[in-house]
Amino acid sequence: MAKILVTGGLGFIGSHTVVELQNEGFEVVIIDNLSNSSEDVLDRITSITGIKPLFEKLDLKEKSKVQSFFEKHSDIQGVIHFAASKAVGESVENPLLYYENNINTLVYVLQEMQQLETANFIFSSSCTVYGQADVMPITEDAPVKKAESPYGNTKQIGEEIIQDVCNINSDFNGIALRYFNPIGAHEGAKIGELPIGVPQNLVPFITQTAIGLREQLSVFGDDYPTHDGTCIRDYIHVVDLAKAHVVALQRLLVKKNTSNYETFNIGTGKGSSVLDVIKSFQKVSGQKLNYKIADRRAGDVIEAYANTEKANNILGWKSQSSLDDALASAWKWEQNIRKNS
C-alpha cells in the first residue's frame, strides 16, 4: 500500500481526493495549515471511508518543518499538491502573499522530493493558464496566455518550475492537471465546498442564495457572444476531478507515463452558460432562484471548456456526472451544512 502525501488535503478538492485515494487502498498523509479549511473535515473523511488519514497541521511556508516532515516520512511514494491560495481578487490586492503561499511552498516541497527515491508529483493547475483560448474546446496544446491575475500567474509559474525540475532529473515525474470549474460535493454530503465569507464562485453563490444566506445572485453580463449572452464554463463534479488525481498518480506509480512531465485537461468537455447553470439548479432543487443581470465582471473570459480526449485516451479517465448531478449534490451539501450549523 503506497503512502501518499496530500497537501491541502482538508480543502475542497483535497478532501474529496483523500476519500478516493483511501477507496483505492492508498495510505494517506495530509498536511494542511487550516487557513481555509477545518480540522473536523478529518472526521468527516473518516466517517466516509472508515479510515482516519494521518494528519499534520503544518504550514508549508516553514521550510525547516517541511524538511523534518519529509525526514519522518521518507517512504512517501507520491505527492498530490493542493495547498495554495485561490482567490483571484485577493491575489490582485496582495500579489506577494500569493507568490509566497503558492510558489515558495511549491519550491520547498519539490526540494524535499528530490531527496526521495521515487518522486511522483501531481500538481493542481487550472484552465486559467489558457486565458481566453482562441479555439474551443481547449486542447493541452493551446498556448498559455499572459496571466490575468497573480493567482493565475502562480499556476503558470508553478507548471514551469515543475517542468524545469523534470528536465534536469529524469527520476522526477510530474503531472499537471488543469482543472476547469470544480463544483458539487460528495454524495452523502459529508464533505463539500466551504467558502469563507461571500462566495466568489458561481455555484456556492447560487446555493447560498437559494438557502437564504444571500439576497440575490448577480449574473455578470448577458451581452457576451454566446447562445444566451452569458459566459460559458465547463463545470466538473469534484468527485470526478478527485478520481482524475488517483488515475494520474497510478500512471506514475506503475511508470506508464511517456514523458516525465505531462499535462492533462480535467473537465467534462461540455460548456454551460451561467443561465444554463441557473436553469439546471432550479430544476434539480425545485427552488426558484432570485437573480438579476448585472455588469460584466472584470477579467472574465467569454468561454472556456475542455477538449478531454487526452485525459480520456491516455489517462483512461472520463467524467461521469452530469451538470444536474453536480448541482444536486451541491444543493444537498448546502442544506446539510446549514441544518447542522
Footprint of ligand UD1 (CB under 6 A):
86, 88, 126, 128, 152, 181, 200-202, 205, 217-220, 231, 233, 274, 297, 299-300
Question: By the 8 A CB rule, do 138 and 305 touch?
Answer: yes
Catalytic hit among 98, 108, 130, 151? 151
Nearer to ligand UD1, 70 or 179 (CB): 179
- Our CB check for ligand UD1 shows the closer of 126 and 321 to be 126
The least CB distance from residue 149 to ligand UD1, in Å, is: 7
Tell me how far, at minimum, the Cβ of 81 lies from ligand UD1, in Å. 15
Catalytic residue list contains 151: yes
Spatial CB neighbours of 327, under 8 Å, sequence gap ≥ 6: 183, 184, 203, 206, 277, 280, 281, 284, 285
Which residue, judged by CB position, is nearest to ligand UD1 in the bound state?
Answer: 231
Cα pseudo-dihedral 82, 121, 135, 87, rounded to 10: 20
Q: What are phi and psi of 120, to 5 degrees?
A: -120, 120
Nearest residue (CB) to ligand UD1, 46 versus 94: 94
CB within 8 A of 150, min separation 6: which ones? Answer: 91, 92, 95, 98, 99
| CB of 24 or CB of 90, closer to ligand UD1 | 90
Residues 136 and 170: their CA atoms lie apart, in Å, by 34
Considering the complex, what minimum distance in angstroms separates the CB of residue 122 from ligand UD1? 17
> Shortest approach of ligand UD1 to residue 324 CB, angstroms?
17
53-89 CB burial, b ≥16 within 10 A, e <16: bebeebebeeeeebeebbeebeebbbbbbbbbbbbbe
**Smallest gap, in angstroms, from Cβ of residue 183 to ligand UD1?**
8
User: What CA–CA distances, in Å, run from 318 to 16, 116, 196?
Assistant: 17, 31, 31
Bridge partners (DSSP) listed for residue 179: 126, 266
C-alpha cell at 23: 477507496
Q: Which residues are catalytic?
A: 151
